[in-house]
Amino acid sequence: MSTKKQLRIGLIGTGFMGRTHSNGYNRVPNFFPELEFTPVLKAVCSRNAEKVQAFADQWGYESIETDWKALIARDDIDAVDICTPNDSHAEIAIAAAKAGKMILCEKPLSRNLAEGQAMVDAIEKAGVQSTVWYNYRRLPAVTLAKQIVDSGKLGKIYHYRANFLQDWTISADLPQGGTGLWRMDSEAAGSGVTGDLLAHCIDTAMWLNGAITDVSAVTETFVKERMHQLTGKVQPVGIDDACIFHCHFANGSLGLFESTRYARGHKALYTFEINGADASIRWDLHDLNRLEYFDHRDESIVRGWRSIIVTDGDQPYMNKWWVGGLGIGYEHSFIHQVADFLKSLEAGTPCSPTFKEALQTQKVCEAVIESANSRSWKDTNVDGDFV
Ligand SMILES: NC(=O)c1ccc[n+]([C@@H]2O[C@H](COP(=O)([O-])OP(=O)(O)OC[C@H]3O[C@@H](n4cnc5c(N)ncnc54)[C@H](O)[C@@H]3O)[C@@H](O)[C@H]2O)c1
């Protein structure tokens, strides 16, 4: 019989993220045995009973629900994990907070700033632990980038550049809305690439380089009408298919961000680069164990971009895995986030990004959309610390 304290999880949504999170809960006890808390997969919820039972059997959940309200009402759930499309985040999170549950919510926090603010108000009123799954922070190479920036090695930072490029929506025949395609429906998603992809870039950027103060954006919807999968009717497309913005950071540096789902050949090209007076770093999701680093202070005849394979035991998270030189993958960012959440319970500290921190990203997303719609610069009113 384990002497560990239990964190009894109720997970809502059994799609892509339901799987990555379930894998995280299952793997953490094996790889982080020192933690005081252990996740217990108490219940999983999705609307189709047969499918959710199959999911429960596959991933090891003790029970199922087909109504998230029933899951939240249960006394044997400590933490609610929201893995549903964006239009249900606010309603579920606010109800869960009222029921006194801890909340782990998928990104983006919400469809828009007003919903996000209501979510922050609800968890603050309830005084419950919260975190948002901006999981890329927990890839070892990205965490190492944070350590390098915080150490001051880059010197004064001048530029931050990020891309998130995909190509899966180019066909004009692709419907919008419903299962698998809710990202194409602005009612369900809130926005297009801005909330879906750039939110990741913005979260990482402000974590690494501090607050974004103002933005100037352009968006485009290349296919103006698509059939709605649920109604069968051809309807206007309300999402941004592509978004480009530039911005100022509070530290005086300039930012340049681009995202699209129309970059033929790219499936998930997420890259960032930071240029400082003394050194630069860059990272690419397709090569996620590598961080590239250039230091101008190196002796000139050997100066050049270093390729740091982030797999050694003294690099972030890597003492939990195999031996130096052997890489890990995308799924590990979620395992690390579960471990960090459990650690935060042990330490009695917040688990970043909290709802309040994720609201800062929401502010930038909102300013980006407003800027594009009004063809003018917009202040973000970001006011957070990025720890
Ligand atoms: N952190 C990341 O990198 C990342 C990656 C992908 C998606 N996401 C986010 O995760 C969330 C889910 O995305 P996904 O790709 O897993 O979607 P998905 O379409 O694969 O899965 C959504 C799931 O939610 C269920 N669902 C929908 N409405 C529900 C309701 N009312 N009650 C119960 N279940 C309901 C669906 O049946 C499905 O199982 C979104 O907010 C998305 O932005 C984050």
Q: What integer is the mean pLDDT of 266-272? A: 98
Q: Does 122 share its domain with 144? A: no
Same-domain check for residues 131 and 145: no
**Distance of CA 183 from the midpoint of ligand 1 (Å):** 10
Query: What's residue 66's pLDDT?
Result: 98
What per-residue confidence (pLDDT) applies to 179?
A: 93
The predicted model gives 88-111 an average pLDDT of 98
Does residue 326 have a pLDDT over 90?
yes
Per-residue pLDDT of 337-371, as tens digits, reads 999 999 999 999 999 999 999 999 999 999 999 99
Residue 232 has pLDDT above 90, yes or no: yes
In the reported structure, the alpha carbon of residue 40 is separated from the centroid of ligand 1 by a whole-number distance in angstroms of 21
* Domain boundary, last residue among 112, 135, 158: 135
Pocket probe mutation, ligand 1, options 11, 14, 17, 362, max atoms within 8 Å of Cβ: 17
Clarify whether residues 83 and 220 are in a common domain.
no
Ligand 1 atom closest to Cα of residue 195: 43
Q: Is residue 60 part of a domain?
A: yes
pLDDT at 385: 73
Question: For 287-291, which contacts have Cβ atoms below 8 Å and span 24 or more sequence positions?
Answer: 288/139, 288/141, 288/327, 288/329, 288/330, 289/140, 289/141, 289/327, 289/328, 290/141, 291/141, 291/144, 291/145, 291/148
- Looking from the CA of residue 19, the nearest atom of ligand 1 is 16
Site to probe by mutation for ligand 1, drawn from 84, 133, 136 as the one with most ligand atoms within 8 Å of Cβ, is 84
Pocket test for ligand 1, best of 12, 16, 267 (most atoms within 8 A of CB): 16
Protein residue with least CA distance to atom 20, ligand 1: 15
183 neighbors 107 (Cβ within 8 angstroms): no
| Residue whose CA lies nearest to ligand 1 atom number 5 | 17
Kindly give the number of the ligand 1 atom that is closest to the alpha carbon of 20.
Answer: 16
Give me ligand 1 centre to Cα 13, in Å.
Answer: 6
Where does the pLDDT of residue 2 fall: very low under 50, low under 70, confident under 90, or very high at 90 and above?
confident
Last residue of a domain, one of 107, 135, 163: 135
The model's confidence at residue 218, banded by pLDDT at 50, 70 and 90, is very high
Which protein residue has the closest C-alpha to ligand 1 atom 23?
13
The answer, yes or no, to whether residue 387 has pLDDT greater than 80, is no
Structure tokens of 182? Answer: 């809710």
1 pLDDT more than 90: no
| Residue 387 counted as domain residue | no
Q: Do 105 and 41 have their domain in common?
A: yes
Asked whether residue 112 falls in the same domain as residue 166, the answer is no
pLDDT at 307 over 90: yes
Residues 90 and 190 in one domain: no
118 and 153 part of one domain: no
Q: Ligand 1 centre from 235 Cα, in Å?
A: 23
Domain count, the chain: 2
Q: How far apart are CA 42 and CA 66, in angstroms?
A: 14
* Minimum CA distance residue for ligand 1 atom 3: 135
Q: What is the pLDDT of residue 13?
A: 98
Does residue 280 share a domain with residue 148? yes
**CATH number for 304:** 3.30.360.10
CATH assignment at residue 118: 3.40.50.720
| Ligand 1 atom showing the smallest separation from residue 17 Cα | 16
pLDDT digits (tens, 9 = 90+) for 23-54: 999 999 999 999 999 999 999 999 999 999 99
Is residue 294 over pLDDT 90? yes
* Domain boundaries, position 349: 139-379
| Range 327-334 average pLDDT | 98
Q: Region 190-209: what's the mean pLDDT?
A: 98
Average pLDDT over residues 282-287: 98
Query: What is the distance in A from the centroid of ligand 1 to the CA of 188?
Result: 11
Q: List ligand 1's pocket residues with C-beta within 6 A.
A: 12-18, 45-47, 68, 83-86, 88, 106-107, 133, 135, 180, 196
303 CA from centroid of ligand 1 (Å): 46
Q: How far is the CA of 91 from the centre of ligand 1 (A)?
A: 14
The CA 348 to ligand 1 mean position distance, Å, reads 29
* pLDDT tens per residue across span 143-173: 999 999 999 999 999 999 999 999 999 999 9
344 part of a folded domain:
yes
Percent of the chain with pLDDT over 70: 99
Supply the residue whose CA is at minimum distance from atom 43 of ligand 1: 107
| Residue 386, pLDDT above cutoff 80 | no
**Cα of 133 from ligand 1 centre, angstroms:** 12
C-alpha angle 115/120/126, rounded to 5°?
A: 125
18 CA from centroid of ligand 1 (Å): 7
Q: Would you say residue 126 has pLDDT above 90?
A: yes
Q: Is residue 184 part of a domain?
A: yes
